[in-house]
């Protein structure tokens, strides 16, 4: 009998990395590299992230869909901020703004990338391994599962109530109607939330979960790819650091 | 819990069980006694709120989580379950709940299946072994890594069953396992149950819908108001006239009783499968004498090349064309996720087509609130609309927000009388049974006097008597020249309403026509599933008569044919 990953093929080699590898690279080494990197070397961590992105098989469409708002916001925000508050001519303030925007964006992109290549179950298990009681990790997981269920339930309530006459335009001048209609949505939604949470907690009991009992931890395995990728990330960081300390030794 | 108990596990026995919920003065279960032998399937049925689910929950020990009060003994091979910790009972008893969505609390199917062994703190490799053993033959490998939201309800139910069995449980309890499934899903689940019985598992199922399993069950238990009123072989219980008083008599059993009156048989038919086998074969060159259910030729809803895709890219409706005439009853059939609900949301204006045009009363549907006066929509879950403190107030909500309050009391009482709830005016709507809540939903919609009535799975979770009541309500509404659109998984309902049928498959309508045309269609096997035997019976009778009969005629023709008349 092999590991469950023998049967469940990971989406990509990046998805298959250890959660700690992903956290160390994308949330620790990578942001440090980006912020320490001088403008001419910023392309190196960006290329590194691009390579990870290509290997992960995540489509640009799905990635852009979940990150575009942040990317545009930080790029525009830092440019405007720089133009308003930095010193120097307009072009240098503009370029400084773009550079800082690019740095923030690269860090945001790496965080979003982490969420896209991480299986939700890894998070509670990671919390568990950190010594935090498993009931918090399980609560987090159940909460994540509840969100789409409750959202669907509320959607159905809105359809059903609108179909029997719920109409906000009728109640602009009538507080009684306004309260009645708010109640017509709020009460069923509360019941749906309760029903969902009771359903999921019943399932936990049915699976024999004991919040104070012992549960099995998923084994944490370090593979060749984990070591290799951490090594590359550290090498890039060391290179940048070395340049920061002794820039004269580098000639471009 | 020692392994030896698991190995010895052979039967379930309930002895003098009384149970009441915390803070309740009344016993929800009273003096419940029955036993099930190893490897047997038993069915518990009864009206909504009769205590079916409570029996399953107390067997699994879940009453302890809410501090319910219990007396009597639950024995599993002689061991008293009340003395075993709830989280340890999983290695003896697995339980599957009604709503598949709520039973999956993990992000992937494999995580759900492995969760029970992990929660017991077993060594990781042992957990894997148990999970793979439980999933073997029930859940395809390809589904193991999928998120529950991306699985069909049938697949979710399979994952839930595997997860319940992952601790090698020998006894499986299922609470209304068919409610959320389409006909094929029911057929699939039936196969799973047969496989588990072959493996020697003992199964107890609480359900309103006894038809799919009655043939393979060893015992049928009928419960009413917390008391066991019948417990015997299914044939004996179903053919005894007293025992089905509380839930209504399924049509197949009504036919069987007629047959038994004139021709006593040692093995009387008790389901459509039995009846279909007894009927004379029909020639395939089916002759249609007449068409019924003629439309009044006044189009009230039209679809022209309508397509709709959900934001995540799922094509729900593709190039759909349809004209719905005034006075028609339309049944939307098809598997879960085939596009039926999307079609209704498009009519209601809740979704906008990306291509094509929809017209309702000659206009494009703008906002649902503006359509509420003309279209009544009854959702699948009665709890979606209930928010008031009394039945009267709940029913009065529509007129209060849509129209004047003139004669409100009289109108409300009239509408409630139509659905038989006139004596419940001051009752809390949440205290009504599932069937009564559904009837209240219908009254809440009919009170707005709509031209079109849309019902989303009106048969969902109801017993035979309530389904028959709703069927009659639909018929009388349509007789007023109004239009009814029903989303249903029950072909029996669609057929006896003589409806025009639209069959969906993967976002496309693969059939549009009346019931007779549907009986001629060659592709029925793809979606009828468990209802295939009923389909054959109806086809046979329609062939004999030349038209789709009503229930009374249908019963007499079949009984007559089987008795050689």
Asked whether residue A8 is assigned to any structural domain, the reply reads yes
Sign of the CA dihedral with B75 first, then B79, B80, and B86 last = negative
Q: Which range marks the domain in which residue A168 is found?
A: 133-206
Tens of pLDDT, residues B106-159: 878 888 898 888 888 888 888 888 888 888 877 888 788 777 777 777 788 888
Give pLDDT, residue B526: 64
Shared domain for A157 and A231, answered yes or no, is: no
Confidence of residue B18 (pLDDT cuts 50, 70, 90): very high
Q: What is the model's pLDDT at position B148?
A: 78
Residue of A124, A164, A168 to mutate when probing chain B, most B C-beta within 10 A: A164
A20 and A106: one domain?
yes
Task: Give the DSSP letter of residue A30.
Answer: H
User: Between A and B, how many residue pairs show a Cβ–Cβ distance under 8 A?
Assistant: 199
Please give the backbone phi and psi of residue B171, each rounded to the nearest 5 degrees, phi first. -115, 125
Nearest to A164 among B116, B370, B385 (CB): B385
From the list A213, A214, A216, the residue facing B127 with the nearest CB is A216
Per-residue CA distances from B440 to A195, B88, B385, B436, B565 (Å): 20, 42, 10, 6, 44
**pLDDT value of residue A10:** 66
Residue B192 lies in a domain: no
Q: Which residues does chain B have within 8 Å of residue A204's beta carbon, measured at their own beta carbons?
A: 105
pLDDT (tens digit per residue) in A211-243:
888 888 777 677 888 999 999 999 999 999 988
> Within an 8 Å CB–CB cutoff, is residue B371 touching chain A?
yes
Residue B78 lies in a domain: no
Q: Is A203 on the interface with B (CB under 8 A)?
A: yes
Q: Is the CB of A151 inside 8 Å of chain B's CB atoms? A: no
In this structure, the answer to whether residues A171 and A245 fall within a common structural domain is no
Highest mean pLDDT among B29-33, B505-509, B535-539: B29-33
Query: A1–B125: do the CB atoms touch at under 8 Å?
Result: yes
Q: Is the pLDDT of residue B364 over 70?
A: yes
Which residue of B lies nearest to A148 if distances are taken between CA atoms? Answer: B149
Residue in A closest to B166 by C-alpha: A207
What average pLDDT does the structure give for chain B? 83
Residue B352 belongs to domain spanning: 298-374+454-466+480-529
Q: Let me know if residue B563 belongs to a domain.
A: yes
Average pLDDT, chain A: 82
Cβ within 8 Å, pair A160-B377: yes
Cβ contact, residue pair A7, B125, below 8 Å = no
Query: Can you tell me the mean pLDDT for B96-110?
Result: 83
Concatenating the DSSP letter of every residue in B497-526 gives TT-EEEEEETTEEEEEEEHHHHHH-TTTHH
Residue A92 lies in a domain: yes
In a domain? residue A213: no
Looking at the whole model, is its pTM more than 0.90? no
Look at residue B101 and tell me if it is in a domain.
no
Q: Does B123 touch chain A (CB under 8 A)?
A: yes
pLDDT at B293 over 60: no
Residue predicted with more confidence, B163 or A165: B163
Q: How confident is the model at residue B166 (pLDDT cuts 50, 70, 90)?
A: confident
Neighbour count for residue B283 (Cβ, 10 Å): 7
Q: Does A85 touch chain B (CB under 8 A)?
A: no
For A219, other C-beta atoms within 10 Å of its C-beta total 9
Q: Are B101 and A188 within 8 A, CB to CB?
A: no
Instruction: Rounding to the nearest 10 degrees, give the CA dihedral for residues A11, A15, A16, A20.
Output: -170
Nearest to B537 by CA among B198, B254, B248: B254
Same domain, A194 and A231: no
Q: How confident is the model at residue A248 (pLDDT cuts 50, 70, 90)?
A: confident
The pLDDT value given to residue B32: 92
pLDDT at A252: 52
Contact by Cβ (8 Å): B405, A185: no
pLDDT-based confidence at residue B6 (cuts at 50, 70, 90): very low
Cα of A210 to nearest chain B Cα, Å: 7
Q: How far lies B103's CA from each of A214, B158, B177, B502, in Å?
A: 22, 11, 12, 32
Tell me, yes or no, if B369 comes closer than 8 A to chain A by beta carbon: yes
Closest to B69 in 3D by CA, of B37, B141, B118, B21:
B21
Least confident range from B78-82, B462-466, B523-527: namely: B523-527
What integer is the mean pLDDT of B277-302?
A: 63
Selecting from B99, B106, B128 the residue whose C-beta is nearest the C-beta of A1 gives B128
Residue A212 falls within a domain, yes or no?
A: no
Choose the closest CB to A188 out of B350, B387, B448: B387
CATH classification of the domain holding B484:
3.40.50.300
Q: Is residue A25 part of a domain?
A: yes
- Those of residues 417-456 in B touching chain A at CB distance below 8 A are 430, 444-445, 448, 454
Segment B63-69 shows an average pLDDT of: 83
Share of residues in chain A with pLDDT > 90 (%): 9
Q: Is the dihedral of CA B316, B321, B327, B331 positive or negative?
A: negative
In a domain, A216, yes or no: no
Contact A7 B444 (CB under 8 A): no
Please check whether residues B318 and B261 belong to one and the same domain.
no
Whether residue A81 is found in the same domain as residue A196? no
Residue B524 pLDDT: 59
Residues A40 and A147 in one domain: no
The reply to whether A34 and A157 lie within a common domain is: no
State whether B458 and B525 are in the same domain: yes
- B401 close contact with A: CB closer than 8 A: yes
pLDDT at B16: 92
Question: Domain for residue A127, yes or no?
Answer: no
Cβ contacts (< 8 Å) between A142 and chain B: which residues? 105
Among the ranges A218-227, B73-82, B493-502, which has the highest mean pLDDT value?
Answer: B493-502
The answer to the question of residue B11 being in a domain is no
Q: How far is B194 from chain A (nearest CA, A)?
A: 23
Q: How far is B377 from chain A (nearest CA, A)?
A: 6
Task: Give the Cα separation of B462 and B458 in Å (integer).
Answer: 8
CB contact (8 A) between residue A210 and residue B119: yes
∠ Cα B56 B215 B282 (to 5°): 145
Q: What is the pLDDT of residue B367?
A: 65
Range from A1-5, B106-110, B544-548 carrying the lowest mean pLDDT: A1-5
Please compute the mean of the pLDDT values over residues B244-261 and round it to a whole number: 79
CB of A9 less than 8 A from some CB of B: yes
Q: Which residue in the set A161, A169, A219 is minimally distant from B124, CB to CB?
A: A219
Q: What's residue A171's pLDDT?
A: 60
Number of structural domains (chain B) is 2
- In this structure, the answer to whether residues B253 and B370 fall within a common structural domain is no
**Which ranges in B251-350 belong to alpha helices (H)?**
251-262, 272-278, 340-347
Is B116 within 8 Å of chain A by CB?
yes
Instruction: Pick the more confident residue, B407 or B228.
Output: B228
Within this chain, do residues A12 and A137 fall inside the same structural domain, yes or no? no
Lowest mean pLDDT among A3-17, A183-197, B386-400, B499-513: A3-17
The answer as to whether B316 is a domain residue is: yes
Give the DSSP letter of residue B363. Answer: B
Among chain A residues, the shortest Cα distance to B449 is held by A164
Chain A residues within 8 A of B132 when measuring between CB atoms: 1, 7
Number of independent structural domains in chain A: 2
Q: Do B335 and B368 share a domain, yes or no?
A: yes
CB A220 within 8 A of CB A20: yes
Same domain, A111 and A137: no
Beta-sheet strands, E only, within B84-226: 93-96, 171-175, 202-206, 219-224
* Average pLDDT estimate for B197-212: 89
Q: Would you state the pLDDT for residue A69?
A: 85
- The string of pLDDT tens digits covering residues A23-65 is 889 989 999 999 888 888 888 988 998 898 888 888 887 788 7
Is residue B62 situated within a structural domain? no
Note whether A85 and A178 are same-domain residues: no
pLDDT in tens, B420-464: 888 888 888 888 877 888 889 999 988 888 889 999 888 887 888
Question: What is the average pLDDT across B176-196?
Answer: 83
Q: What is the largest CA-CA distance in chain A?
A: 78
From the candidates A2, A157, A163, which should be mutated to test the interface with B, based on the most B CB atoms within 10 A? A163
Residues in chain A: 252
Overall average pLDDT of the A153-180 stretch: 76
Averaged pLDDT for residues B407-411: 87
User: Is residue A200 domain-shared with residue A229, that is, in the same domain?
Assistant: no
């Amino acid at each position: 009998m092999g590991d469950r990953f023998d049967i469940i093929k990971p989406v990509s080699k990046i998805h298959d990395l250890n959660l700690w590898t992903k956290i160390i690279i994308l949330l620790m080494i990578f942001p440090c590299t980006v912020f320490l990197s001088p403008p001419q070397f910023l392309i190196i961590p960006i290329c590194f992230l691009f390579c990870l992105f290509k290997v992960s098989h995540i489509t640009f469409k799905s990635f852009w869909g979940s990150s575009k708002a942040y990317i545009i916001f930080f790029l525009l925000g830092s440019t405007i901020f720089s133009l308003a508050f930095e010193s120097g001519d307009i072009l240098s303030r503009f370029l400084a703004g773009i550079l800082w925007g690019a740095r923030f964006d690269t860090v945001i992109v790496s965080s979003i990338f982490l969420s896209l290549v991480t299986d939700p179950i890894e998070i509670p298990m990671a919390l568990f391994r950190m010594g935090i009681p498993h009931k918090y990790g399980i609560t987090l997981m159940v909460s994540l599962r509840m969100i789409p269920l409750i959202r669907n339930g509320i959607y159905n309530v809105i359809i059903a109530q609108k179909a029997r006459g719920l109409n906000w335009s009728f109640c602009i001048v009538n507080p009684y109607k306004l309260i009645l209609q708010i109640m017509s949505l709020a009460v069923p939604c509360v019941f749906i939330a309760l029903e969902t949470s009771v359903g999921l907690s019943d399932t936990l009991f049915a699976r024999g979960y004991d919040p104070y009992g012992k549960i099995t931890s998923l084994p944490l395995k370090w593979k060749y790819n984990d070591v290799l990728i951490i090594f590359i990330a550290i090498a890039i960081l060391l290179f940048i650091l070395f340049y920061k300390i002794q820039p004269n030794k580098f000639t471009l | 819990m020692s392994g030896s108990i698991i190995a010895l596990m052979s039967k379930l026995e309930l002895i003098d069980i009384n149970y009441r919920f915390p803070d309740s003065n009344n016993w929800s279960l009273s003096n419940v006694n029955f036993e099930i032998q190893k490897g047997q399937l038993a069915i518990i049925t009864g009206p909504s709120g009769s205590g079916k689910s409570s029996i399953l929950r107390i067997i699994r020990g879940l009453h302890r989580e809410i501090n319910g009060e219990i007396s009597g003994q639950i024995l599993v091979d002689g061991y008293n379950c009340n003395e075993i910790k709830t989280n340890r009972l999983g290695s003896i008893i697995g339980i599957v709940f009604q709503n598949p969505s709520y039973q999956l609390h993990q992000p992937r199917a494999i995580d759900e299946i492995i969760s029970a062994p992990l929660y017991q703190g077993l060594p990781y490799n042992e957990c894997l072994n148990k999970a793979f053993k439980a999933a073997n033959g029930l859940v395809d490998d390809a589904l193991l890594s999928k998120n529950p939201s991306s699985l069909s309800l049938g697949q979710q139910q399979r994952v839930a069953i595997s997860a319940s069995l992952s601790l090698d449980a020998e006894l499986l309890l299922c609470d209304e396992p068919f409610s959320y499934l389409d006909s094929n899903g029911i057929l699939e689940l039936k196969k799973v149950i047969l496989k588990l019985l072959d493996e020697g598992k003992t199964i107890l199922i609480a359900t309103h819908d006894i038809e799919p399993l009655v043939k393979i069950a060893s015992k049928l238990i009928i419960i009413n108001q917390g008391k066991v009123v019948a417990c015997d072989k299914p044939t004996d219980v179903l053919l005894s006239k007293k025992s089905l008083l509380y839930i209504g008599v399924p049509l197949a059993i009504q036919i069987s009783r007629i047959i038994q009156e004139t021709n006593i048989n040692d093995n009387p038919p008790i389901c459509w499968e039995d009846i279909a086998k007894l009927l004379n074969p029909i020639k395939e060159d089916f002759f249609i004498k007449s068409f019924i259910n003629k439309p009044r030729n006044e189009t009230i809803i039209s679809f022209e090349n309508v397509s709709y895709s959900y934001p995540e890219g799922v094509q729900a409706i593709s190039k759909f064309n349809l004209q719905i005439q005034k006075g028609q009853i339309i049944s939307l059939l098809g598997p879960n996720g085939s596009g039926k609900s999307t079609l209704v949301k498009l009519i209601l204006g809740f979704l906008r087509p990306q291509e094509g045009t929809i017209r309702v009363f000659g206009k494009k549907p703008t906002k649902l609130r503006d359509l509420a006066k003309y279209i009544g929509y009854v959702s699948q879950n009665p709890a979606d609309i209930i928010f008031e403190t009394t039945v009267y107030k709940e029913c009065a909500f529509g007129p209060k927000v849509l129209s004047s309050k003139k004669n409100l009391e009289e109108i409300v009482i009239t509408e409630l009388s139509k659905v038989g709830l006139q004596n419940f005016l001051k009752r809390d709507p949440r205290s009504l049974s599932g069937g009564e809540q559904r009837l209240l939903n219908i009254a809440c919609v009919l009170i707005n006097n709509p031209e079109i009535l849309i019902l989303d799975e009106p048969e969902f979770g109801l017993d035979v008597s309530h389904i028959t009541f709703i069927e009659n309500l639909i018929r009388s509404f349509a007789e007023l020249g109004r239009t009814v659109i029903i989303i249903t998984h029950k072909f029996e309902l669609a057929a006896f309403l003589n409806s025009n049928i639209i069959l969906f498959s993967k976002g496309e309508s693969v059939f549009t026509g009346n019931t007779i045309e549907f009986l001629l269609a060659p592709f029925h096997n793809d979606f009828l599933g468990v209802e295939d035997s009923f389909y054959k019976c109806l086809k046979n009778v329609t062939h004999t008569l030349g038209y789709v009969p009503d229930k009374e005629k249908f019963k007499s023709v079949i009984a007559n044919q089987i008795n050689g008349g």
